[in-house]
Amino acid sequence: MKILITGGAGYIGSILVPTLLEAGHNVTVLDTFRDGGTQLATSARYAGFTPVRGDARDTRILDELLPDADCIIPLAALVGAPLCKQDPIGARTINYEAVVEIIKRTSPQQKIIFPTTNSGYGIGEQGKFCTEETPLRPISIYGTTKCDAEKAVLDSGHGLTFRLATVFGLSPEMRIDLLVNDFTWRAVTDRAVVLFESHFKRNYIHIRDVVKAFMHGMENFQAMQNEPYNLGLSDANLSKMELCERIQKQVPAFVFLEAPIGEDPDKRDYIVSNEKVEKAGFKPDWSIDQGIAELIKGYRMIRNSRYSNV
């Protein structure tokens, strides 16, 4: 296929792009390449790789690139509640409006595979799994813009969406602020963390399983289209305290304490069912424990926090 990926030099894209190229696809990446990094340097050896420096909101570039694409994966986004709060205009224009502009310029024959967030569920009901039929109640600008974009993709009639659990794992464009990545970083470097609202639960998924899901969606698009799919590990609906206990098994010196006062600015608290995507034939490869082990190795090499998202 000819695949267009916006934001393809980011955390997920820098794993997804070489995977698609290795599978024989032609991949065009539209990205600002703002840091001038080498995240996709190894992809340049593929004849089917085309990097385009530009903004995903620039409709002139979209007019040029979209007609040739068989599949579009809009990764360009301001990701996470703190970053979107810093730049609400950017959050709205990149996370939502840029996706709408893509939809306007595509035909029913073109596939759109869109990653959104299961943070759209907001605060769940105690002991009750969030399914794709659960009402969306986003509690941040990030959640709202991604939910609005998801609706636009599904309403287009030629898209499917993955509601990503909290992603973890190593990437050439690393993000240390994501919860598993962050807590493992603290375990390796600081040996301690203070938890706010440690009973809050959420679901998790390894970055390479996110990539695997995109591939699965491309290959099974006709059967899966026009539907949202929760994407996470069914055995990893963990509280922050439980996550720390898993990390401590591999970093025995890790100490974690619950703060008696204070609150987590990210209010997500829910458990998620991934049964729908599993029934569609997708099966993840990476467990939370494997991901923690991978991160521990990575943090022996990464010795600063310049990869933070915000």
d(CA 207, CA 184): 15
pLDDT for 306 equals 62
d(CA 37, CA 40): 8
d(CA 48, CA 281): 28
Residue 307, pLDDT above cutoff 60: no
Q: Which two tokens stand for residue 192?
A: 């301690």
Q: Tell me the mean pLDDT in the region 252-276.
A: 86
Burial 87-109 (b: 16+ CB within 10 A, else e): eeebbbbbbbbbbebbbebbeee
pLDDT for 265 equals 62
Q: Where does 47-177 have alpha helices with state H?
A: 59-65, 81-86, 88-92, 98-104, 141-155
Length of the chain, please? 310
Q: Is 297 exposed, middle or buried (0-12, 13-18, 19+ CB in 10 A)?
A: exposed
pLDDT tens-digit map of 23-56: 999 999 999 998 888 899 999 999 999 999 999 9
Name the pTM for this structure.
Answer: 0.95
The DSSP letter of residue 123 is B
CA trace torsion 102, 108, 110, 116 (10° rounding): 50
Domain range 2-165+205-232, its CATH number among 3.40.50.10680, 3.40.50.720, 1.20.58.220, 3.40.50.150: 3.40.50.720
**How sure is the predictor about 268, in pLDDT bands with cuts at 50, 70 and 90?**
confident
Residue 296, pLDDT above cutoff 80: yes
What is the identity of the amino acid at 192? A
Q: Tell me the mean pLDDT in the region 105-129.
A: 92
Q: Is the dihedral of CA 134, 153, 276, 5 positive or negative?
A: negative
pLDDT for 231 equals 98
- What is the biggest distance separating any 2 CA atoms in the chain, rounded to whole angstroms? 57
Q: Tell me the mean pLDDT in the region 13-22.
A: 98
Q: Which two tokens stand for residue 309?
A: 């998202």
d(CA 3, CA 287): 29
pLDDT for 310 equals 56
d(CA 230, CA 121): 11
